[in-house]
Amino acid sequence: MKQEARPDLATADGHDRHVPSDSRDILSAGHNGVYKWAADHLVRPGARFLDLGCGTGYGSAFVTAAGGSYDGADGSPAAVEYARAAYGREDVRFFVADLMGPPPPELPPRSYDVVFSSEVVEHVTDPFAMVGTMAAFIRDDGVCFVGTPNRLWSRDHMPAGSLLARSHVMEFTPPALEALLRGAFDDVTLLFRMLPAEAIASIGLPTNRPPLVRAAVAFAREVAPDRLQRYREGIGRRRSGREWGPEDIEWLAPDDPRLDPDRCVGLAATCRRPRR
């Protein structure tokens, strides 16, 4: 797989996009784990997969490994340029597209077996339009996947209950996410994404930082977000004393007795039977 120089995330409109690296920290495991789960559970050989908000395109490797073809769309020309250079191939295409606007003609409606969007809906100003766009692309017998932060977790663990990132417009509780998705789909199944307890401790929550450190991090986020991400990856590895991978992420139903709310940083949902 080709690897190009890492883009400056500040030029990719500041939306906290994940840039693949050799890191095995819990943040990378979380990003990769979402695609790994979707590839394992939703992609069959020959499936057509559409990734709305594909970012730097690293998810395409999981889809093609499972036998699917991959189309990715993102609003950032910098991210799409990187994705094409690093992951483009005959069965992998990337497009610059406004996810709230008309789709490129190369992406026909009602033609995809899997329509996927992870860590995107919390960034948009009209999540209803976003979900409607996903429903428009899916085949009648296809499946949509939505991944997003768990608002219950950020409310309880972030300073003053703030959102996980400044670029987030809103975050969803489980009932709110289900209500949003049921506006476009008749069949919605919620899942919690649960991290290991040791991994939670390695993240380094803002609540545990002195005020001066929080100010320094805020400044770094503004002027050098890409460098800040690499720093966080290194801190996560040193604090945990181990490496993490997609297999360390647990996917649990809301009624699973193993579910620990203090470890459920993320939510996900599979959606079927789009309303036409």
Is 47 domain-assigned? yes
Give CA–CA dist 220/207, Å, rounded. Answer: 18
Is 220 domain-assigned? yes
| Residue 8 confidence (pLDDT) above 60 | no
| Residue 12 confidence (pLDDT) above 60 | no
Cα torsion 229, 170, 267, 142 to 10°: value is: -110
Task: Convert the pLDDT of each residue in 154-180 to its tens digit.
Answer: 999 999 999 988 889 999 999 999 999
Domain that holds residue 38: 21-274
| The token pair that represents 217 in the structure block | 């991090």
| pLDDT score recorded for residue 205 | 52
Phi, psi of 253 (to 5 degrees): -70, 155
Longest dimension (CA), the chain: 53
Average pLDDT, the chain: 85
pTM of the model: 0.84
Task: Convert the pLDDT of each residue in 177-209 to its tens digit.
Answer: 999 999 999 999 999 999 999 888 766 555 444
Give CA–CA dist 114/6, Å, rounded. Answer: 28
Is 5 domain-assigned? no
Which runs of consecutive H residues, i.e. helices, occur in the chain?
A: 26-42, 60-65, 77-87, 127-137, 151-157, 174-182, 197-203, 211-223, 225-240
Considering only CA atoms, which of 234, 220, 267 is closest in space to residue 37?
A: 267
Among 50-54, 215-219, 268-272, the range scoring the smallest mean pLDDT is: 215-219
Task: Convert the pLDDT of each residue in 69-107 to its tens digit.
Answer: 999 999 999 899 999 999 999 999 999 999 888 889 999
Residue 215 banded pLDDT, cuts 50, 70, 90: very low
- Determine what percent of the chain is predicted with pLDDT higher than 70: 80
Start-to-end CA distance of the chain, whole Å, equals 39
Do 70 and 92 form a contact (C-beta atoms < 8 A)? Answer: yes
Is 4 domain-assigned? no
Q: What's 117's domain CATH number? A: 3.40.50.150
Is 62 domain-assigned? yes
% helix, strand, coil for the chain, step of 5: 40, 20, 35
- Number of domains composing the chain: 1
| pLDDT score recorded for residue 203 | 67
Is 119 domain-assigned? yes
Do 236 and 31 form a contact (C-beta atoms < 8 A)? Answer: no
Give CA–CA dist 30/263, Å, rounded. Answer: 13
Is 11 domain-assigned? no
Single-letter residue type at 128:
F
Is 122 domain-assigned? yes
